[in-house]
Amino acid sequence: MASSRKKDWRDEVKRVSLSEEDLKEWHCLKHLNRIVPIAPKEDEARFDGKTWEEVKEIVSNTPIGTPVGQFEEEVSFSAWENAFRVRGMLASKLCAMDELPDPEFLLQGFKRGTCGLLSSSGGGGKSFLALTIAMSMADTTHTLPSLNGLVQSRGGVLYLSNEDDKDVIDYRVWRILQHRIDQGFITNPNPVAKSLDHNFIPIDVVAGFRREAKFLIAEGNRVKNTGLARALEILIKEKRHKYDLDIKLVILDTLSRFHALDENSNKEMTLLVGLLGDLARSANVGILMIHHSSKIGAMNYKNESASARGASALVDNVRYHLTMSSVTLQKKSSLSKDKAEVATFEEEDRENLEAIFENEENKDEKIEGLQALAQNKNLVRLNFSKQNLGKSTTPLYFTRLGYGVLDVVKELDVVKEEATPEDGFPF
């Protein structure tokens, strides 16, 4: 009875006499299959910084019969040479330059090629804010506002939802567009819609993958890379080179759905942020991770060190951190029993809002109106909690309107214009 075992290329190789060159080719493929899944040559699958052709050449020059462990060590050692090839510019060249090219900032203080974090408590509006940011950045007609200068660049945005489905995403995008039309920002929808169709890519990851997609998963005591980061890098580069779409920002909503690690482990969160940081650099994109606040951070939005849930390494290893929460009011005395006494803004919030409405004649009336919104938890404060590569700045305030839409308090750039890029970088 014939064997039912499926034949593969290895069986065919063993049945024919091989030349020395053919034998080395088979030897090469066998080793590569042992280390990483065989990928198409044109894909240039990478192993420790080496391309397919580079690894293949190393294997071909390895004597037949070399133990696999020794081969892996040889490839890894060779790959580490690349780690020391890129150095900073020579001081002699720097001295001869009048100025350096400005780095590209995607958001205020958020540099392209780095990782950032946006944290808030559940139901705080972080997904609505992330979509609002994404749509303003993707609108290259500069019709949608820059949110008081928060959005610093315009271009492609990839929004990956591992939580909300397509229907929820579509509804939120529609609500934001309707609000901008009602405001008068969008008078002719066609150019804006065309720009968003090309530059804004919201994806329901769960629907396409049939389950939540993970960058890293835990298997016993080991952390396994699923290959999602590599697939995402290929997608970004394909959009850039084949479809003339320069994706600048990738939004992960929410971060906890994109891994299966211990959120309270500093070691595992360091590995996760390190992987995403490598992806941000290799694909030249900013990666903004949407995350939940800790219980302490939700109760006190000014406690920035405890604002993000989980291990401290998560905040320590990103270059940028935004925190958002509802503005709280206070009475003159925390012990006051006077029910008629109206709670007011804390001193810091009042000073910030007075600065926003500094040149307005009815400043006090507007602040009182915002105070009424704050009583119903409909005034949201966005803190720039961490900016390693940007200037310190005052918080932004957003009003929560019907259906969860967020609108920045006193939009400055009502006309079509780009936000002023940052200057005086502190690095």
Q: Please provide the DSSP assignment of 92-155 as one string.
A: HHHHT-S-PPPPPEEETTEETTSEEEEEE-TTSSHHHHHHHHHHHHH-TTS-S--TTTTB---S
**Residue 15: exposure state from Cβ atoms within 10 A (0-12, 13-18, ≥19):** exposed
Are 172 and 404 in contact by the 8 Å Cβ rule? The answer is: yes
Question: Is 60 exceeded by the pLDDT of residue 319?
Answer: yes
| Same structural domain, 17 and 138 | no
| Same structural domain, 35 and 165 | no
pLDDT for res 12: 45
Q: Does 425 fall in a domain?
A: no
Three-class secondary structure of residue 396 per DSSP: strand
Domain boundary among 284, 302, 319: 319
| Same structural domain, 120 and 67 | no
Which residue in this structure is represented by tokens 């001193």? 347
Are 83 and 48 in contact by the 8 Å Cβ rule? The answer is: no
The parent domain of residue 309 ranges over 105-319
| Same structural domain, 178 and 244 | yes
Cis peptide before 114 (omega within 30 of 0): no
pLDDT for res 40: 40
| Same structural domain, 64 and 145 | no
CA 318 to chain centre: 10
Q: Does 392 fall in a domain?
A: no
**Torsion sign across C-alpha atoms 92, 93, 94, 99:** positive
| Same structural domain, 126 and 166 | yes
Greatest mean pLDDT range, 36-50, 132-146, 303-317: 132-146
Distances (CA, A) of 54 to 30, 82, 153, 224, 237: 16, 12, 37, 25, 21
Output DSSP code: residue 18: -
Q: What strand order describes the sheet that includes 216-219?
A: 222-225, 216-219, 259-260
Q: Does 236 fall in a domain?
A: yes
| Same structural domain, 73 and 214 | no
| Same structural domain, 255 and 167 | yes
Domain count, the chain: 2
Percent of the chain surpassing pLDDT 70: 71
Residue 360 structure tokens: 């307005």
- In whole angstroms, give the CA distance from residue 330 to residue 327: 10
Which residue in this structure is represented by tokens 């039309």? 181
Greatest mean pLDDT range, 25-39, 76-90, 227-241: 227-241
CATH (domain of 298): 3.40.50.300
Residue 13: its H or E element = helix 9-14
pLDDT-based confidence at 58, cuts 50/70/90? low
- Residue 50's φ and ψ, nearest 5 degrees, are -100, 145
Are 156 and 112 in contact by the 8 Å Cβ rule? The answer is: no
Which residue in this structure is represented by tokens 């909503």? 253
Q: Does 419 fall in a domain?
A: no
Q: Which residue has the higher pLDDT, 362 or 169?
A: 169
Q: Are strands 379-387 and 320-326 parallel, antiparallel or unpaired?
A: antiparallel
| Same structural domain, 50 and 124 | no
Question: Is 60 exceeded by the pLDDT of residue 48?
Answer: no
Domain boundary among 260, 285, 319: 319
| Same structural domain, 74 and 191 | no
Q: Does 23 fall in a domain?
A: yes
CA angle 324, 328, 332 (to 5 degrees): 150
Strand extents, DSSP E, 376-422: 379-387, 396-400, 406-408
Q: Does 96 fall in a domain?
A: no
Are 406 and 400 in contact by the 8 Å Cβ rule? The answer is: yes
| Same structural domain, 178 and 286 | yes
Domain boundary among 259, 288, 319: 319
Q: Does 247 fall in a domain?
A: yes
Are 156 and 239 in contact by the 8 Å Cβ rule? The answer is: yes
Percent of the chain surpassing pLDDT 90: 51
**pLDDT tens-place string over residues 128-178:** 999 999 999 999 999 999 999 999 999 999 999 999 999 999 999 999 999
**pLDDT tens-place string over residues 74-117:** 555 555 556 666 778 888 888 888 888 889 999 999 999 999 99
| Same structural domain, 261 and 191 | yes
- In whole angstroms, give the CA distance from residue 244 to residue 163: 29
| The model scores a pTM over 0.75 | yes
pLDDT for res 61: 65
Q: Does 341 fall in a domain?
A: no
Are 179 and 401 in contact by the 8 Å Cβ rule? The answer is: yes
Question: Is 50 exceeded by the pLDDT of residue 192?
Answer: yes
Amino acid at 218: A
